[in-house]
């Protein structure tokens, strides 16, 4: 396989096109877990090129597909299940996500997309006139700008009662202190009641950086706290639900090669090692402490 063209991902926002290709691939299956009819167009030829440059890009689609579907499930549960009462969804680093267009959302819901201005402008240009099931707003903001981020959170927090925050595919690209700042700023708003994240472990980051490091030099994978979800506790958040990426991949039948063999071997591992493997990667719903 030729060496990947490292220039294809020049900024972390480019990874949104890459992930959109995975959503398109899943949507085009006859047994699709979800349907995102805009994903292929949103990804564009740039997304296809990035995928081709990623080592084993197609074979490693399963975590992105599993993450998308499991987050769909948790969002819908939060909106209509036991965690009901959510009046606002704040989607940080929303990228090319099309959930407001494809999920069955209540008309009374307020959904706010937050990302860099160029990303939101591009997205709006691809989806003009498309129907959404709720009230959709765009808030162009650089989330690494502390002042701009806090101003946005204060504005949203003052105008909502129960907000669900989403950061899909964001935290892994941030420095530890940046995640700490984000967590503290979110917790400062009493109306921000729950926070949906995906979380990697140091073990996973080591593996991913070994295989993807050249492709993601301009968007390195950084955040994977050794303490797992306990990292967030000192900033006002605690784990409410953890979905293991590996276990969910087996449930959804979107998993890695030899997954059943690894599952069988895992039965013979010490309990501590089993727990470590289970939490190598996951989707987590956090709640206020």
175 occurs within a structural domain: yes
Q: At which residue do the structure tokens 């009230």 appear?
A: 135
Question: Phi and psi at residue 163, in whole multiples of 5°?
Answer: -110, 135
Indicate the pTM of the whole model.
0.92
Task: Specify the long-range contacts of residues 121-130, CB closer than 8 Å, at least 24 apart.
Answer: 123/42, 123/96, 126/38, 126/41, 126/42, 127/38, 127/42, 127/98, 127/101, 130/38, 130/101
Average pLDDT over residues 214-232: 94
165 occurs within a structural domain: yes
Question: Phi and psi at residue 262, in whole multiples of 5°?
Answer: -65, -35
Average pLDDT over residues 159-175: 97
Given a cut of 60, whether residue 83 has pLDDT beyond it is no
Indicate the range of 167-181, 182-196, 248-262 predicted with least confidence.
248-262
- Which helix (H) or strand (E) element contains residue 208? helix 202-212
Helices (H) and strands (E) in the chain, counts: 11, 7
- Which helix (H) or strand (E) element contains residue 110? strand 110-115
**CA dihedral sign of residues 168, 169, 173, 175:** positive
190 occurs within a structural domain: yes
24 occurs within a structural domain: no
The CATH number of residue 129's host domain is 3.40.50.150
188 occurs within a structural domain: yes
- Which helix (H) or strand (E) element contains residue 41? helix 39-53
Q: Helical H runs in 55-188?
A: 62-80, 99-102, 117-126, 146-158, 176-187
123 occurs within a structural domain: yes
pLDDT at position 82, please?
45
Q: How does pLDDT run across 49-59, given as a tens digit for each residue?
A: 999 998 888 98
- Confidence class of residue 98 from pLDDT cuts 50, 70 and 90? very high
pLDDT at position 71, please?
98
Q: How does pLDDT run across 230-270, given as a tens digit for each residue?
A: 999 999 999 999 999 999 999 999 987 776 767 767 777 78
Q: Residue 67: name the closest of 45, 108, 44, 95 by CA.
A: 95
Q: Residue 12: name the closest of 127, 115, 112, 145 by CA.
A: 115
The end-to-end CA distance of the chain, in Å, is 49
170 occurs within a structural domain: yes
Three-state DSSP state, 129: coil
Q: At which residue do the structure tokens 């995906």 appear?
A: 198
Helix axes 15-27, 62-80, angle to 10 degrees: 80
- Percent of the chain at pLDDT above 70? 94
pLDDT at position 269, please?
73
Given a cut of 70, whether residue 27 has pLDDT beyond it is yes
Question: Phi and psi at residue 121, in whole multiples of 5°?
Answer: -65, -45
Helix axes 62-80, 245-252, angle to 10 degrees: 90
Q: Could you tell me if 65 and 22 are in contact, meaning their C-beta atoms sit under 8 angstroms apart?
A: yes
Q: How does pLDDT run across 270-284, given as a tens digit for each residue?
A: 887 777 878 999 999
Residue 162 sits in which domain range? 63-288
Q: How does pLDDT run across 107-163, given as a tens digit for each residue?
A: 999 999 999 999 999 999 999 889 998 999 999 999 999 999 999 999 999 999 999
Given a cut of 90, whether residue 164 has pLDDT beyond it is yes
* Beta-carbon count within 10 A of 244 CB: 18
pLDDT at position 277, please?
79
Given a cut of 50, whether residue 3 has pLDDT beyond it is no
pLDDT at position 259, please?
67
Given a cut of 60, whether residue 6 has pLDDT beyond it is no
2 occurs within a structural domain: no
pLDDT at position 81, please?
52
Half-sphere exposure of 223 (CA within 13 A, CB side): 20
pLDDT at position 1, please?
35
**Number of domains forming the structure of the chain:** 1
């Amino acid at each position: 396989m030729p060496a990947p063209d490292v220039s294809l991902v020049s900024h972390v926002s480019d990874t949104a096109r890459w992930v959109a290709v995975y959503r398109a691939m899943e949507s085009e299956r006859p047994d699709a877990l979800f349907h995102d009819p805009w994903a292929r167009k949103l990804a564009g030829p740039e997304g296809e090129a990035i995928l081709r440059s990623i080592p084993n890009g197609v074979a490693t689609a399963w975590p992105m597909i599993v993450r998308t579907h499991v987050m769909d499930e948790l969002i819908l549960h939060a909106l209509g299940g036991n965690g009901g009462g959510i009046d606002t969804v704040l989607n940080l680093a929303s990228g090319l996500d099309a959930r407001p267009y494809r999920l069955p959302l209540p008309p009374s819901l307020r959904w706010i997309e937050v990302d860099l201005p160029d990303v939101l402008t591009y997205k709006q240009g691809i989806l003009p006139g498309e129907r959404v099931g709720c009230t959709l707003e765009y808030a162009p903001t650089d989330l690494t700008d502390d002042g701009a981020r806090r101003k946005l959170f204060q504005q949203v927090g003052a105008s909502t009662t129960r907000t669900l925050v989403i950061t899909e595919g964001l935290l892994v690209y941030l420095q530890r202190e940046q995640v700490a700042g984000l967590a503290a700023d979110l917790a400062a708003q009493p109306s921000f009641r729950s926070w949906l994240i995906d979380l990697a472990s140091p073990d996973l980051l080591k593996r991913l950086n070994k295989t993807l490091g050249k492709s993601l030099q301009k968007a390195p994978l950084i955040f994977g706290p050794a303490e797992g979800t306990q990292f967030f506790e000192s900033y006002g958040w605690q784990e409410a639900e953890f979905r293991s990426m590996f276990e969910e991949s087996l449930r959804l039948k979107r998993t890695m090669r030899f997954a059943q063999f690894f599952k069988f071997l895992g039965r013979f591992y010490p309990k501590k090692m089993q727990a470590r493997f289970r939490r190598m990667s996951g989707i987590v719903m956090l709640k206020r402490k």
